[in-house]
Structure 1
């Protein structure tokens, strides 16, 4: 039976040591720190009990609190290195919450790197968990611009290229290939028990919610940030032109 209501908690995971865009989580985008976009979406999502930020960085913690989020702990340093699996940071946050505030039903991660998500994207992920008790996790995806069947290649030791996935007879038109999707950082909805017992996201039954590409920006490099600034400016201009 689908759950009628889920105790849902949103989390934003933000390390201080980002390399692609230094200090990106507190860098201003569209008039507010990047992390604020995720925090605001979390609070605007119906049914979300609170928004908790997991960080190892005091400045990020201070900015997050100013945006209304809770920062009840600092993430251990061993879970905030460049090579630290975020899955373990998720597990740490779930363990803390259950110890301090009791069991909950739906863990939602709203990465700070995705500032253009819509509340409806988050709601769709939570609703998928609510309606399907067999689903362990829900990810967000967008249609990929490249296909491993058609225009993605791998290189051998001599830099010779071949299509990633070979098809019998070859494929010459993009329209003929199976649709493939990019995983986005728009939102993740996961059952807390699954995080505590599984070793990785795709160890269980994972469902997907499709989001439009214009809401799926993922800021990982300086170019990404500049592009996000341009998108934000276009959105502001579009808003001013609405009668």
Structure 2
């Protein structure tokens, strides 16, 4: 099985300024994702897709390849991620004359993951014959119990109706939040995909701590505490 590892790291960031290269416990944030991919050891190549020369320099320094700069049209605030990964896949297959079976994409803004997590994702991906498999965590709110939508008249209604009224969150159907940490794609599906979602889509459940995404300053501080206190190990 030939695996392409991808790490997509855009230079601009609105929530936490320059977060991909910001120092986190003595290393830039992107280091942790490159390092765990290297320690995992099953990716034939680790490619960083970025529009930032500084991110590219750091990615090279820590062991990823940056054989191209991301095109401007794929580096905007509104650019979806699927075309970014497709661009990296097509570039590598043409440049290196290689055809991959699987693309394993790790997001640098969700750095709390282990080599075991990546292994478990790949194992389930192969076992289930999925086209796409991504990591999730159990959602804190549940549309069957404590999430509402407003109708045209301004009245609130539960987002999803169940067969009977749900009085406790524990009795509602389980729902999950995508945590942005790990995405695994079948190459033949990904190459022309218009969406992440498809008819053979699976998930890998991670715990709440491992699912923290750095969108706000407080997220950065929390992960900084975990790493500096020695509370988390990447292997």
Say whether the fold is shared (TM-score over 0.5).
yes
Moved more, 104-113 or 215-224: 215-224
Matches within 5 A, 1:174-189: 174-189=169-184
3-state SS in 2 of match to 1:197: coil
| Distance in 2 separating the partners of 1:158 and 1:24 | 41
Which runs of 5 or more residues in structure 1 are unaligned? Answer: 1-5
- Give the deviation of 1:90 after TM superposition: 0.8
Number of the residue aligned with 1:108: 104
User: Which one of 16, 41, 58 corresponds to residue 46 of structure 1?
Assistant: 41
Aligned length: 232
Structure 2 vs 1, CA of residues 205 and 89 (structure 1 numbering), >3 Å: closer, same or farther?
A: same
Number of the residue aligned with 2:119: 123
| Distance in 2 separating the partners of 1:209 and 1:98 | 28
User: Which one of 51, 72, 75 corresponds to residue 80 of structure 1?
Assistant: 75
| Distance in 2 separating the partners of 1:186 and 1:168 | 33
- Give the deviation of 1:8 after TM superposition: 1.1
Cα-to-partner distance string for 1:113-158 (whole Å, 9 max, x where unaligned): 11110111111111223334x3111111111111011111223456
3-state SS in 2 of match to 1:187: strand
- Give the deviation of 1:168 after TM superposition: 4.3
| Distance in 1 separating the partners of 2:216 and 2:189 | 31
Which runs of 5 or more residues in structure 2 are unaligned? Answer: none
Structure 2 vs 1, CA of residues 224 and 192 (structure 1 numbering), >3 Å: closer, same or farther?
A: same
Number of the residue aligned with 1:91: 86
Moved more, 147-156 or 74-83: 147-156
3-state SS in 2 of match to 1:186: strand
- Give the deviation of 1:206 after TM superposition: 0.9
| Distance in 2 separating the partners of 1:181 and 1:222 | 24
- Give the deviation of 1:175 after TM superposition: 1.7
Structure 2 vs 1, CA of residues 74 and 212 (structure 1 numbering), >3 Å: closer, same or farther?
A: same
